[in-house]
Amino acid sequence: MADELQEQMIAKTEELVEEKKGEEAVVEATELVKLDPKDAIVWFVKGKAHYVDSQFEDALSCFSKAAQLEQENPSIWHMMGYALISLNRLAEAEEALAYAKATQPTNAEAVCALGICQVMQNKQSEARGNFETAIALNKSVSLAMLEHFHDKFFSVSKDTGSSTKAMIERTLETLKIVR
Amino acid sequence: MAGFVQKPSVPSAKPVATSREEFDALKKAFNIESWEMSPNFWADIQIIYTAKGSEQQARTYLKAIELSTPDM
């Protein structure tokens, strides 16, 4: 009976996270944690709900708890990397995503996120290598992540020149056609 | 292969509040095969950027994504 209840709550929470109903998802996930606070998956799901709701410190706390319980799970480190990027803790984010890449070498999202994290630290050659790998693994997902990165990080920035923004946009358009 | 990978240290984070009752419940907790129950639709969870890019970062990005010139 309890198994069935937890299964339903996890499914419900995943559904809410996917629909990006952040606030509602946090409420559901909090209820879930009360049932079994030890389980790494509970902390992981709760962390994802906080992340979608832009509660990055809470998300990181949950992912850290999940990692303490299940340190080798690359899914935890993948989301931990996202939370650390959002918190601008880039060196730690790079470490988390490098681990996700090393343990899941075909995970295009993790590889692309690692490259993005390296760009944010001005590590050009490392980023380039990871972008090439990510695009080779999954072009559509990688290009979507690269465009999203430009839209949310550079395009809206007053500190980035308009000519540089235009060159990035042209390069991204070319990438869609060429690679 | 994963065995040779250096595991990162868990980042510092604010503690998660856990009561004694919850801690006791941990010991009694049953295992759920939940990783399989919890599909990861990563494409639906985008990175949320809280900072804005600098000109230097933009130039780094441009160099990292530009197409290679074939060797002559």
ipTM: 0.85
Of A18, A122, A152, the CB nearest to B57: A122
* DSSP at B44: G
Minimum CA–CA partner of A143 in chain B: B65
Average confidence score pLDDT of chain A: 86
Q: How far apart are CA A28 and CA B54, in angstroms?
A: 38
How many beta-carbon pairs under 8 angstroms link A with B? 201
Of A109, A167, A171, the CB nearest to B42: A109
Closest to B38 (Cα-Cα) out of A74, A10, A18: A10
At A8, the amino acid letter reads Q
Tokens of residue A73, six digits: 């799970």
Least Cα separation, residue B72 to chain A (angstroms): 19
Least Cα separation, residue A80 to chain B (angstroms): 9
CB burial string A139-162: b at 16+ within 10 A, e below: eebbbebbbebbebbbbebeebee
Per-residue pLDDT reduced to its tens digit, B11-29? 888 876 554 455 344 334 4
B69 reaches A (C-beta below 8 A): no
Mark yes or no for CB contact A124/B64 under 8 Å.
yes
Tokens of residue A117, six digits: 């994290």
* DSSP at B15: P
**What confidence score (pLDDT) does residue B31 get?**
42
Asked whether the whole model's pTM tops 0.95, one would answer no
**What confidence score (pLDDT) does residue A174 get?**
94
Chain A environment of B43 (Cβ under 8 Å): 109, 141, 144
Per-residue pLDDT reduced to its tens digit, A13-45? 666 666 666 666 666 666 665 545 456 777 787
Minimum CA–CA partner of A65 in chain B: B16
Give Cα separations from B10 to A81, A84, B29 (angstroms): 11, 11, 24
Chain B environment of A3 (Cβ under 8 Å): 30, 32
* DSSP at A150: I
Q: How far apart are CA A7 and CA A52, in angstroms?
A: 21
Place of tokens 């918190």: A87
Mark yes or no for CB contact A109/B43 under 8 Å.
yes
Residues of chain A with pLDDT under 70: 1-39, 179
